[in-house]
Structure 1
Amino acid sequence: MSSFTSSPYPKSESLKEILVSSMASGVSVYLFLIIFQPFGTQNFNHPYKLLLLFPYCVIFGTAFLIVNIFTYRFTNWSIGAELLKIIIILFLGSVFSYFYNSLFLSHVELSFENYFYMLLYSLALGIPISVIYILSRYIYLKSMHENIARNISQQLSGNPLSIQPKALKISTGNAELIIHENDFLYAQSMENYCTFYLLENDILKKHIIRISLTGALQQIETTSIKRCHRSYIVNLRKVKIIKGNAQGYKLVIPGTDFEIPVSRTFIPAIIPQLQQINN
């Protein structure tokens, strides 16, 4: 069970994605309440019933937004982390919902016992739906990415590594690096520095230069050298194995022991490019 909960799981990669998913989460809660009317909602009679239920949309959408912004920078996201995130969202949403329901709808005395019932309602409503969604999304994405990765890897294994030599020049205010496209493997960004990895005579070498990844890409981007992640640039012609999981893809280059991640935002550009370059 622990190995399953530690399985990679995709998370929001941009603030725009978080905002859209938060709005969708809130709307989903609202639609569920007005369509199925659970937990006595059907007995709540009021001429403005639909309007009075709408704040639950705002409440759970806001809870989703707060927790996702807090976890935005976390790495190595897993199913277990996603489930824990959902529980925290439901807990936070239940707190806001309890005060709204007690102060504006039911007008009942605030008490821990009444809140406990609200918490149970939130968990009973949210956990089953969330678990079904998380597991179905995990199975679908994992299967799709693994199949695509397997097919591309079969194509990559039969193609030569070499390309027409081309000099790549990387210049900063006080440093300059000239490398050949045949030797370049990938670059990794670390704050204000970039580490460039080269393979010369089967020996892995690296050079560190004070430059942003965007600045480096502007100088060395070609048809095969592309950005695949907010922290990585890769030479697609050097990729010989591609691995897929629920989060997306990882690229493997011979001569290195590191798997280069591909962000979901770059998948639509990188995967077709890999297929085109190696065909």
Structure 2
Amino acid sequence: MGLTLVSYIVPHWFKNWYSEANWTVGREIVWNVLVILLITFGNIFYSQWFFGRIFNLRGMLFWLGITASIGTIPATVITLVNYNRLLRKYATDSLLVKSAEASIETNPTPQNEIRLLAENEKDTLIVKTEELLFIESADNYSEVVFWKENKVQKVLLCSSLSRIEEQIKYPPIARCHRSYIINLRQVTAISGNAQGYKLQLQNWDCTLPVARRYTDLVKEYFKK
């Protein structure tokens, strides 16, 4: 009964928590602990109903100990299996990664620049598409990072990242994370793990994350 509740009913109520896009080892552990607790209470109810045993703290700890000792090993195995499955899924050994130079050569840019308008409808930033690296969310602002005059430059716009995203009509510049819009033509390398992809850009030292909900978008772009 407890297993049925966790496996079918609870996931139906909390779809975002149980979606693969939000999977983490921590959430898998929480899920397994919840299963063990529900099975424990199921065992207590069973012992009371059929054997007339009185519920008390000692009895609860007894059943919790038995359930945990039996369930810990399979729970650990399931967690490792899920982790390795996602690790293989997001591995990038077979993913075709194009350098920014190759991308520019094989995909001529039909749009030379993008125009970004701030919330006040007055402040405007015009950036060439080949210069833009990424745009990062900064609370109610968005920081536009681009390469110009042989150095990294940053401009802060008073605008949400979602509003900025609506203004961009150039597919290689895409939302890849809740905090980032990335110019995929600037990507030089991709690394992957069970948590998703990491993108390395030209002229930028740190890798940028790709949320799992956007991994298919990134894969399709680099497989074209």
Quote the Cα distance in structure 2 between the aligned partners of 1:87 and 1:58.
Answer: 13
Q: Percent identity?
A: 21
1:159 and 2:92 correspond? no
> How is 1:27-176 mapped onto 2 (pairs within 5 angstroms)?
54=1, 56-58=3-5, 79=25, 81=26, 84-86=29-31, 88-90=33-35, 92-94=37-39, 96-97=41-42, 100-101=45-46, 104=49, 106-146=51-91, 148-149=92-93, 151-153=95-97, 155-156=98-99, 159=102, 164=109, 166-174=112-120, 175-176=123-124
2:217 maps to amino acid: A
1:253 maps to amino acid: L
TM-score when normalising by structure 1: 0.64
Quote the Cα distance in structure 2 between the aligned partners of 1:96 and 1:128.
Answer: 20
1:166 maps to amino acid: N
Asked if the contact 2:99–2:188 (Cα under 8 Å) also holds between the matched residues in 1, the reply is yes
- Matched residue of 1:141: which SS? helix
Unpaired stretches in structure 2, ≥5 consecutive residues: none
Quote the Cα distance in structure 1 between the aligned partners of 2:194 and 2:68.
Answer: 26
Q: Which residue of 2 aligns with 1:222?
A: 170
Residues matched between the structures, number:
217
Asked if the contact 2:189–2:201 (Cα under 8 Å) also holds between the matched residues in 1, the reply is yes
RMSD: 3.5
**Structure 1 residues 109, 69: CA separation in 2 closer, same or farther (over 3 Å shift)?**
farther
Displacement of 1:270 in angstroms is 1.7
1:33-59, Cα deviation, whole Å (9 max, x unpaired): xxxxxxxxxxxxxxxxxxxxx355226
Pick the structure with more helix per residue: 1
1:183-237, Cα deviation, whole Å (9 max, x unpaired): 1111112332211111113311112222222211111131211111122111110
Pick the structure with more strand per residue: 2
1:139-160, Cα deviation, whole Å (9 max, x unpaired): 23323432x356423x437715
TM-score when normalising by structure 2: 0.78
Displacement of 1:181 in angstroms is 0.6
